[in-house]
Structure 1
């Protein structure tokens, strides 16, 4: 199209695409931005992950720092500014976003994940500390408990139970409970070993079973707006609700079909309850960008019927 429209533009585009340095800059951008995308993508899944967000952010920032300071990318960045200055700008942007979006509830959920108290997890990185030894987490956790338990006596009881849990006291000191902190899913672990602290166990059941974003609600609203629109505005609320319910369950059933991920044309979304790392090399980027969350083929087939209102 450029060649027919403007020969000089076509020549410039061709020279750019054949320039190795241009692709080095692209590799540099993907090298550190891929980790940010990956973290956001994991947080967008339809599964409990509120207790994982705090650790995801810490890990993502460390990966971004490592990618930016790679020798093969240093000369690309230093053309514009020093690597240190570049990282400071990226770091400040990430911290500002985390400060804006984080809440004491994230810190409370993080503190209730038994994995982060296990010796196996702490030994993976010498800089890691258990949540109860982190001053910032302690402050945010107290704020959360004050909101959740306004009664001082009940709040003190919960704090006492948290001390038993975090310091491996009483029932939490058994070798089996200590070993399984790293190997069991958080909810499974609390179900097996948390009965001696009923208030804390109840809180853990609530927080460790929560997604970390409103993506599920957004998808539900998108489905509703897809069904109830300008051309289909005579649906009764109950009928629209029933259609959303049917649509959502058809989506879940479609994901269980073995052919779901094999046939791109039949995929309803980008694997809402699964995730593959963009940096692992297993994801075809061209296939990824052509998938649509808003106009999937199967949705059009089911719901764009002239007489659906009747």
Structure 2
């Protein structure tokens, strides 16, 4: 849905960058999913009809969105700035666009998943086939999420399942993990990090 309300994706310069590229309102899959989203998000039929009309005006540059300046600024403005400037005549769609386009993107969930994978499939357990390792990561993550709902989460050992969570800078307090057994295979580099033990 955020793709559908980004003004940049309706500009001719963006469409012509890649052969065969089309704007979101001309893509069948995006249109189907956008309509599903509208049905789920706007349960009142009148609201849904009004938002669909606003989206049609926005995507086709009609009525409130036909101003040449608004059309030209689609390519140059940040999407949130554009909606803040030109979305006044489509308040429901503007609110939806600002909500969707204002969400921060982050790779922390992926990083956390890869961290869990590295604990499960390590030098000691390198004979695990990829399917088994993926299953173990899946089970681990789901158990970790379920454990957060329990009253004992803060006091029980399951709290250690959040290894690699946000803000974890070191292994202090995490318990004994495989990180304790790891060693570098490059003595010169290890010497720089660990230091000279003879001193």
TM-score category, normalised to shorter length: 0.5 to 0.7
Shift of 1:174: 0.8
Cα separation, 2, equivalents of 1:227 and 1:191: 45
Which fold has the larger relative contact order, with Cα–Cα distance below 8 Å and residues 6 or more apart in sequence?
1
SS of aligned partner of 2:15 = helix
2:73 is the alignment partner of 1:129? no
Question: What is the distance in 1 between the residues matched to 2:28 and 2:10?
Answer: 15
Change (3 A) 1:217 1:137: closer
- In structure 2, the partner of 1:113 is 6
Task: Show CA shifts across 1:189-225 (max 9, x none).
Answer: 1111011000000001011112345527977824258
The aligned residue for residue 101 of structure 2 is 208
**Residue pairs, 1:29-178, within 5 angstroms:** 108-178=1-71
Kept in 1: contact 2:108–2:166 (CA 8 A): no
* Whole-angstrom CA distance in 1 between matches of 2:31 and 2:65: 20
Aligned residues: 126
Task: Output the CA distance in 2 between the equivalents of 1:137 and 1:200.
Answer: 17
Alignment partners' CA distance in 2, 1:212 and 1:164: 28
Distance 1:217 1:125 in 2: 29
Alignment correspondent of 2:87 = 194
Matches within 5 A, 1:263-282: none
Give the C-alpha shift of residue 184 in structure 1. Answer: 0.9
TM-score (norm 1): 0.37
Separation (CA, whole Å) in 2 of partners of 1:212 and 1:119: 26
Equivalent-residue separation in structure 2 for 1:218 and 1:159 (angstroms): 37
- Relative to structure 1, is the Cα distance of residues 145 and 226 closer, same or farther in structure 2, using a 3 angstrom cutoff? farther
Which structure 2 residue ranges, 5 or more long, are not aligned? 113-163, 176-188, 194-199
CA distance in 1, matches of 2:36, 2:89: 24
Please give the root-mean-square deviation of Cα atoms over the aligned residues, in Å. 2.8
CA deviation profile, 1:67-122 (whole Å, cap 9, x unmatched) = xxxxxxxxxxxxxxxxxxxxxxxxxxxxxxxxxxxxxxxxx110111011112212
Structure whose residues are more often helix by fraction: 1
**In the alignment, what sits opposite 1:103?**
none
Name the structure 2 match of 1:229. 173
Runs of 4+ residues deviating >2 angstroms: 123-126, 211-214, 216-222, 224-231
